[in-house]
Structure 1
Amino acid sequence: MLQSIRGTAGSWVVKILFILLIVSFGFWGMGPLTGGVGGGVAEIGDVKITPQELDREYRSEIRRLRQIVGPELTDEQARQFGLVDRALEQIIQRTLLSLAAKDQGLRVGDAAVAREASTFPAFRNGLGQFDPNVMRAVLAENGLTEQAFVEQMRSDIARSTLVGGITGGTAGSKTLAESLFRYRQEQRVFDVVTIPNAAMAEPANPDDAAVAQYHQDKAVRYTAPEYRTLQVATLTADALAGGIEVSDEDVRAAYDNRAAEFVTPERRSIVQAVFADKAAAEKALAALNGGRTVEQVAKDAGLEAVTLEDSTKDALPPELADPVFSAAAGTNVGPVESAFGFHVLTVKDVKVGGTRTYDEVKEELRAELRRERALDQVFQASTKLDDALAGGASLEEAAGQVGAKVTTLERVDNQGNGPDGKPLPAAAQLGATLAPVLENGFSLKSGENSGVKEGEANSYYAVQVGMVEPAQLRPLDQVKAQVIADWKAEQRSVAAKAKADEIVAKLKEGADPAATAAGLKGALFARTQPLLRNAGRNAPVPRASWRSCSPRSPTPSLPVRRRTAMSWPSWCRWSPSIPPRTRPRWRRSAPRRPRPWPATWPASTWPPFAPAMA
């Protein structure tokens, strides 16, 4: 093949094609391989949005979303969520508002920017005051220069001013607000008659033909899931750590290298007030020595006392560090002059520091070193395990070569349960690895293995599928008792529905609901407290009743189920609506909580209604 290519490349036809290609490059040149990345990703008027701006906005959105969903959010998932498009849209919206503010002649001065920046809690020092040095450090940590931050703040203030001018004077329609208020705050009282399935007479046992037919009609209910036998090899750092030896010399070296970790600095808590002049500070100190507190003398001077809890010496301004840490607990100190003024303070508490000795921490260090080495070894072992499996070794053989633990799950379903419906004890041993093991194990064919996969907490696993038992209908003789019980329950439900329809017909003719319920064994009657439309899922009547019920007009019977409980509310009506008691306030308020179910209806009977509350 290579010889053929070389022979063809030497022909005159190929040479002519190469000459034409070179001439074309000479005329038109080679475009940039970046496909225009060096330019803007969007253009609004004369403003171009650069890829760097989009990347910063995108990274900011990822950080915000990770605070909500957790740090495991990946870039690929973020792109699937549309974060790139969202970041671009936000930049475009801000740019449009900034251009509109510029067109309107809005200009933001340095004083307004400084005033706004001083309100940021992140820019305050240990004394609770705005500190330019702290601001610069925070900006540097976030990849911003002071100039870039100032310009960003200037644009933000201009946009806020523009939007506030547009929305500040608007007001919603009073008619619409009052209509919504009446709709949301209207209350209704419902009469409810319920016929529980349990109130119906137990039907006679069905004949064998009916049982067999029901077994076939409800085959899905009695079908056993697919079962598989899975072999799982697991490699964990904890398992390998037990066989790793760490010498005393290594432990001592680690202690010396990490000596600073074992030093607990002395900490002190103080409460202070900062005065503008020395005379006022000396007067305050005299008051402190006379028995008054810092809070009291600060209040007398129109100042605010500041408490600093558990501060180290390094965390205090240099002028305060020595006086504070040389004073005993309960001592008044001052006046001490600093760049902020004259400090007068009281040392509230002293927490003595210390150093943990080598003997105190050597076993702790030994365990850490053992685990660190185990982490290195577990990765190397996972690579060897993967190579062995790829080379055709069985899971047991490959696991034996690297010391991996092998767990066998006999006849397990895709939920980790055995044929008896209970979790397999062996499955519980896998812990958090069980879910991915089952997912991989049920995606393979018999005899296949998954290869090595990374699990939780620096662990690795591999799955090999053995026996596969397809899902199949359980024989009737194994589930006959359950089939008969289900058939009887269904017959009771049908009877309760028929009885409920009879009661609906009577009530439509004018019968009293309470008297009708009293005439039927097991039927229940209750009148609710006044309810709001948004009473929630715990409301005692289905939400559909608000649409279908009218005064003295019964609803059709409605089935309501919860767990094994089942009942048929046969009828409900609502009293004339109760208007809201107060005029609407032009603000959004929390909805009223629904009142509890009436005590006249046993608490055990109303939970079945919960799933029907939409």
Structure 2
Amino acid sequence: MGVMTYMRNRMHIILGILILAFLATILFSWGMGYSGAESDQHLVAKINGQDITYDQFINAYNQESSAYRERSGQELTEATRQRLRDQVWENMVNEILVQQAINKMKITVQDAELFHFLETNPPEFLQTQEVFQTDGRFDYQKYLEALHNPQGNEWLQVEQIYSDVLRRQKLQNQIISSAVVSPDEVKEAFSDENVKYEIEALSIPINPPRSQAPEITEDAISKYYQANKNEKYAVPEKRTLQYVSWMKTPSREDTVLVLNELEEIAFRLTEGELFEDLARIYSVDGSAANGGDLDFFARGQMVKPFEDAAFTAEIGAVIGPVETQFGFHLIKVTDKKTEEGQEKVRASHILLKVETGPNTIDQLMGNARLFSYDAEDQGYEKALLSYNLKADTTKGGIDKSSIFFPGVGYVSELSRWAFSSKAGSISQIIETDNAIIVAQLLSVTPPSIRPLEEVKAAIERELQRQEREKIAMELAESLYAKAQEGTALKSLQIDSIGVKLQRHSDFTINTAPGSFRNNKAFAATIREMNLNKISRPIKSSRDFSIIQLRMRGKFDETKFGVEKESKYEQLLTQKQNQLITEWMQATRDAAKIEDFRDRFF
């Protein structure tokens, strides 16, 4: 009972990866019935020997894609598809690893635990069901009666779902059990948010103005290169390809079809049909549900062609078609007024977009087929000349992660084809939302190390940066020594190299100015400093600073007493979530994850 009470009390905590991954699989319904009988060619991944098949992955992806369309009201671009595939992949890998951990640790949920949980935590999706409501509100007694008196196996799916949720909750409780927040941590966090400071900071720039670059020897550059070449200068295998594309832009025929449709709509208006009814049927704008009504608008709120037409038309007039960047409009002006000296128009419209029609796509596909046949028969270069086409080339080559191609956008299929083909190969026709593509793989460049001459200048700059940082640190230490001997910080300024004293006031540690923001060394220093004391040099990305504390505000004990409980909960949740994240990452690092996605995507 103690475990269940603790779990119920902690349900407000963000459950993080463990529960989210599981809930994602409930939505995706991709199933966990791995038989191991599938050929490896049908696998998207193996996670510690456990299979993810192509069908399981694509089912999850299709459901996530549908959910995205429903949420956004938009079709997917290739970039969005790639992002959703990555998201589904992460969810599925995490779910398998969590389930494997639960099985390995033999975490179970007893019937009594599950029943008690369902008694005290009615699922939200059941609370909205009419059978559990009285006068439109959730009736807890009806819910309890149904729970205590099942008529068959109607609770089986709920029990399965929440049994899995509770197992994950138990795993999570084990992971987060080491999270402890001390009273001192709570007080420090409150102080960082509320206590105000005033400081003087002597800044010693790492890259001072008008300074000469330190000289770096050839030997130093060579040693740095040898020490770092495998980590910093490794170049993955690359593929260079050329490709021609036929963009799916609307043809004149597509435009004429839209204009003819608008002409037919205009004729129906003259026959007495209502503008708002036709807008609901034909308009592709979001205003269609309101009969095309756009309400009142002033000049500057609509695109200019639309605005000019609406403001020059008489009330009741239907004008158009008017072409804008969005398509062709029929516009009906329904009212006009002047408000605070500004003329306004109320109008409704019917918007039709010119889209690439099937006849146009068939013609483009036919052109691509003819080119493809001739490229195979005569050679790619001769086909380019014959059809007077110019190919785009991936200058510098692409690696396996490259999915963006100039001129055609995101095409993961093109990258996958390039890395599964031999030099000289010509692709089949590749079709995307925006283009039809035929490509040739020009060359394959094996993995390599960038030569020293190619990276020499970059290494020299890095070593110069390190040398400047060393010089600045030595100067900062010498100025600190003088300050310790009693020299005022103001007297230590050196204008010629940008060593300047600045005063910063009315800030908290969480709102510290400039390079001090999120600087742990700075925060730790001023928390402990006594008034008017001098700090050792504190490094930031741009400089070293010697700090003198001029003012520390009072700690508001009354406000702290009001907020300390919520601050404790906030810190505890942060630590728990960090432990979950670290556990998940460590579990992934230790897992054998075989990724075969490049076979399919």
**Scaled by the length of structure 1, what TM-score is found?**
0.43
Name the larger-Rg structure.
1
